[in-house]
Amino acid sequence: MQRIISGVLACVGGHFVPSDIAIEGGKIISVVPAASAASSKALYALPGFTDVHVHLREPGFSYKETIATGTRAAARGGYARVCAMPNLSPAPDSAAHLRAQLDIIERDAVIDVVPYGTITVGEAGEALSDMEALAPHVCAFSDDGRGVQDDDVMRAAMRKAKSLGKLIAAHCEDNRLLKGGCVHDGAFAKAHGLPGICSESEWGQIARDLDLVRQTGCAYHVCHISTKESVDLIRQAKKEGLDVTCETAPHYLLLTEDDLRDEGRFKMNPPVRTRADREALLQGLMDGTIDMIATDHAPHAAEEKAKGLRGSAMGIVGLETAFPLLYTYLVRMTGLISLERLVDLMSLAPARRFGLPAEGLRPGADANLALWDLDAKYEIDPNDFLSKGRATPFEGWHVCGQCVETLYKGNAVWSLAQGATL
C-alpha cells in the first residue's frame, strides 16, 4: 500500500524543500516538490540518523539495556541505524560470539543495528580477535571502553584491518595517566577534592595512533574526542592526508566542568572538560575537523548511577535527546551551524565513513526517515525515556524539536500520537 506524506519540508540534496513524499514497499518512490508547505507549522522530514557509537548492553548486561529497549529509544530520537559497541559478554571477538548478538538483533531490533567486532580477544588488549571472520558482519573494529595500550598490538590490528578494508575505531585512553580519576583534572576536581582525568590520557594516545596510521595506512576513526589538543592533532593529520576521521558527543559540545554536580548523571568517559576545550570542539565542528556526532549512549541501572561522581559507573544516555539539544543550542539559538549541517553530521556523514548506506531522501532509497515538529517546546524529563537508562546531565533543559514519527523501511517504528514504538 502506498503512503503519501504531503506538504513537509524535506531535506533533499542538502536543502529543505516543500515536498510530497511517496512510499511503497519500504522504499521512497518519489519526492515531488510541493507548491508550498502544508502549513506555517509544517513538519520537517529528515533522513533517519545513524549513530556509530551506542551501547545496547546485550548480550551480557540486559539489566542496563536491551536491543529491544535501546532501538526503541533510538527510533524515538529519529534514528534509523545504530552501531553497537562490543563491550559485551561474550564480547564479539569470534564468529560464534558475534552470532549470539546477531540472533538477538534479528529477533528484537526495530531499526538497523550494525555491530562492532573487538580489536582484541575479550578486549583484553593482547591477542587480536578473529578479525577476518568478523569483518563481513561488522561496521568496524573497536575495543571501546578500553584503549589498546600496547603499540605493537595496535600496529598489528591496523595492518589487519587495512587488509580487510575495515576501520579501526579507537577509544583513546592511556591507562598510565588515569590515576583513578572521575572528572576532568581541572578546577572542579581541585575544588571538590576529586581525582582528575588529565587531557593527555586522551590526546597522547591519539598522537601515538596517528604515528601508527602513518606507518600502516590504516583507515582510522577516533571515538568521542573531548580535548582541544585532540582537535588540533586530528586537524593536522587531515592536512597531511591521513585517512582519519573523528566524532564527538552532544555533552562535549554543550557542557563544561563548570556545569558539573556531584551526581552520577554527570559522570562519563571521557569527562566533560574546560570552556577552552568546548570552544575548540565547536570550532572543529564548524571547520570540518570533526566529521560526525555520536551519542555514546551508555545506559546503567539506577543504583549504578546513584553513587555520586566518585562511585558511579561511567556513562550517560543520549539517543532520545541528541537532536533536540543540538538543534536548540547549536542551530536555533546560536546559529553556530545550519540545520542542513546538523543533519549531515548525524545522518549522512557517519554512514558514509563506516561504509553503510547513506541514501538520504531520494527515489529508490529505503524509506528511513523521521518527521519532526521543530517548534515543539518541552523540558527533558528522563522519567519519560524509553531507554532503561535514565542518567542524563540534561535533565530539566528546555529544548525545541520533537520527533513525531520515525519510519524504518517504510514502517512506523515510533509514533508520538500513539506515545510508543510500534
Active site residue 287: no
Short-list 372, 300, 312, 363, CA closest to 339: 372
On whether the CB atoms of residues 114 and 140 are closer than 8 A, the answer is no
Architecture of 49-359 per CATH? Alpha-Beta Barrel (3.20)
The per-residue pLDDT for range 46-92, each reduced to its tens digit, is: 999 999 999 999 999 999 999 999 999 999 999 999 999 999 999 99
Give dist(CA 418, CA 240) in Å, integer: 51
pLDDT for res 365:
96
Of the listed ranges 27-41, 199-213, 248-262, 342-356, the one predicted with least confidence: 27-41
CA quadruple 356, 89, 250, 68: dihedral, nearest 10: 70
Binned at pLDDT 50, 70 and 90, residue 418 comes out as confident
3-state helix/strand/coil string of 290-314: CCEECCCECCCCHHHHCCHHHHCCC
pLDDT at 46: 97
The model's pLDDT over 149-196, given as tens digits with 9 standing for 90+, comes to 999 999 999 999 999 999 999 999 999 999 999 999 999 999 999 999
- Edge-to-edge order in the sheet of strand 244-248: 168-170, 220-222, 244-248, 292-293
Residue 133 has pLDDT above 90, yes or no: yes
What predicted TM-score, i.e. pTM, was given to this entire model? 0.96
- Treating both helix axes as pointing N-terminal to C-terminal, what angle do 228-240 and 275-287 enclose, rounded to 10 degrees? 30
pLDDT of residue 185: 98
Give the mean pLDDT of 105-123: 98
Q: How far is CA 278 from the centre of its chain?
A: 18
Of the candidates 51, 143, 291, 296, the residue annotated as catalytic is: 296
User: Sorting pLDDT into bands at 50, 70 and 90, what band is 14?
Assistant: confident
Which position has the higher pLDDT, 70 or 40? 70
Specify whether the CB–CB gap between 227 and 252 falls below 8 A. no
